Amino acid sequence: MPPRRKDASENGLARGTFLLLLAPALILLFLSLYPFLSGLYTSLTDQKLYAAGGTRFVGFANFVRLAGTPLFWTALGNTLSYTALVVAIQLPLGLAFALLLDVPGRLQSFFRSVLVLPLLIPPVVAGLMWKTMMQPQQGVLNYLLSFLGIDPQPWLANPATAMISVVLIDTWLFTPLAAIILLAGLQSISVELTEAARVDGASPWQIVRRIKLPLLGPYVLLVALFRVSDALKSLEIIYATTRGGPLNATRTLHVMAYEEAYRWSNLGRAMAIVFVLWALCYAISGTLLALWQRQEARRYAR
């Protein structure tokens, strides 16, 4: 009899612990799913943000209307261009900074401190700051270029240079993040491994190319995953500098959704754009995550 009472007591304690852990998990699941499902339902309605009146269920009408809107395809192309440029520039630049900061020296701590300064500035503030510096007449950027004999450039006012300009701001702001993650990857590589290669006569470049870069593969994919998901949803820098202009040259899907909701009050249509953006982000991030997991599996199989 005593052992049975002990088993019953342990079972009751385990059930109580299970229920205690289940409650916050269910709350978290509800807080995650309810906004998602609520937004999905809104995308299937003609709900207005400010106008009073009833809301009608319109099915996939918002998505069909978007597919027939030329501006939507322009915004989709701009979103993909912006993301591709951001990743293509920031990955190699972040890797170069990480390799430089991985070299021991007296100035290493100073440069590490300076590198993270842009990360402390909110994207909206960074956008406004660079907008001031890119002013055609009074901006410091054109003033510096004048010493090289280059005429003043309308950085954000010209459709040909506006996209490059916002990518430049994004690069200044987020390249330190890529460098920090890649530097952590470099410092996780065994010192004995690089010392053994050096003893065998390998040059610094051969150590980087044959040892460090292959081992950095998962970290490179991690940086790409972060930057792709962030760049696809980028709004603050673009809206603070160009508001999607000039001539829709920088109008991305997120900017378009923001204006549909807060400028034109079409909340249902804005949510439809957001869900297209979510599907795009999910597909690209899922592909990168699968590549990352494959890299990790190969790494631990060795």
**pLDDT band for position 261 (cuts 50, 70, 90):** very high
CA distance linking residue 192 with residue 209, whole number of Å = 17
Question: And the tokens for 206?
Answer: 């051969």
Nearest C-alpha neighbor of 256 from the set 72, 62, 60, 43: 72
pLDDT digits (tens, 9 = 90+) for 199-258: 888 888 888 888 888 888 888 988 998 899 899 988 999 999 999 989 999 999 999 999
Q: What is the pTM of this model?
A: 0.87
Q: Which residues contact 185 (CB under 8 A, 6 or more apart)?
A: 98, 215, 216, 218, 219, 220
**227, 86 contact by CB (below 8 A):** yes
**CA torsion sign, 259 to 263 to 267 to 268?**
negative
pLDDT digits (tens, 9 = 90+) for 63-97: 999 999 999 999 999 999 999 999 999 999 999 99
CB atoms within 10 A of CB 249: 20
Nearest C-alpha neighbor of 61 from the set 210, 225, 256, 268: 268
Question: And the tokens for 188?
Answer: 């996780």
Question: And the tokens for 1?
Answer: 């009899």
Nearest C-alpha neighbor of 43 from the set 30, 31, 61: 61
**pLDDT band for position 15 (cuts 50, 70, 90):** confident
Q: Is the pLDDT of residue 9 over 70?
A: no
Average pLDDT, rounded, for the chain: 88
DSSP character string of 93-140: HHHHHHHHHTS--TTHHHHHHHHTGGGGS-HHHHHHHHHHHT-TTT-H
